[in-house]
Structure 1
Amino acid sequence: MVADIMHGLSAYFWSLFTGPVDLVLMVGLVGQGLFTARFLVQWIASEKAGRSVIPLSFWFLSLGGSAVLLGYALYRRDPVFILGQSLGTVIYLRNLALVFRERRNARA
């Protein structure tokens, strides 16, 4: 039984990653790459500072990745993915607005 489950999972993942590659899939992968890069940027910045840090590039990568993934989800007509990325996009825009407002106030 376990062997059957493992074989089924193996076949499923094989079909996912060996299927046809089209432009839409490439756009989705770029969006996911941007979204993943933000964690690397945040991790490196925090390690350098020795404390938790959220650099400005984290928010730009978050916004870019979320926007691209939202477009991908809209094209694929995936309501769960659309709802998830829509909220994220709003949150990232708001965080960027807060960062820029704080910087503007600090200069004044």
Structure 2
Amino acid sequence: MSNRRIFLKSISQIAAASAMGVAIGARAQAAKLDEANPQAVALGYKHDTTKIDKTKYPNHTAAQQCGNCALFQGKAGDATGGCPLFAGKMVATTGWCSAYSKKA
């Protein structure tokens, strides 16, 4: 094979690999959890901890937020983060659900 053919073949393979990487990266961005999701409803999840029904969850306090929960998988300062209870979905840092467990 000539050097030119090798070069063109290499360029096309690099372009294909780059396109695949972009597609995988786009798919990796998880969607924000919908409050109407059956799992979210079952756990009383809300995006805003101040919107929790006090009569249904009397032990809830406004200081309890996903961002300071042991299950929260986001970084400090992130608006959303992962939670193993809602696989593939992002929860709000200011959110809350009945599985809340304060970070140690």
TM-score, normalized by length of structure 2? Answer: 0.27
> Which structure shows the bigger proportion of residues in strand conformation?
2
> Which structure shows the bigger proportion of residues in helix conformation?
1
TM-score, normalized by length of structure 1? Answer: 0.26
Larger Rg: 2
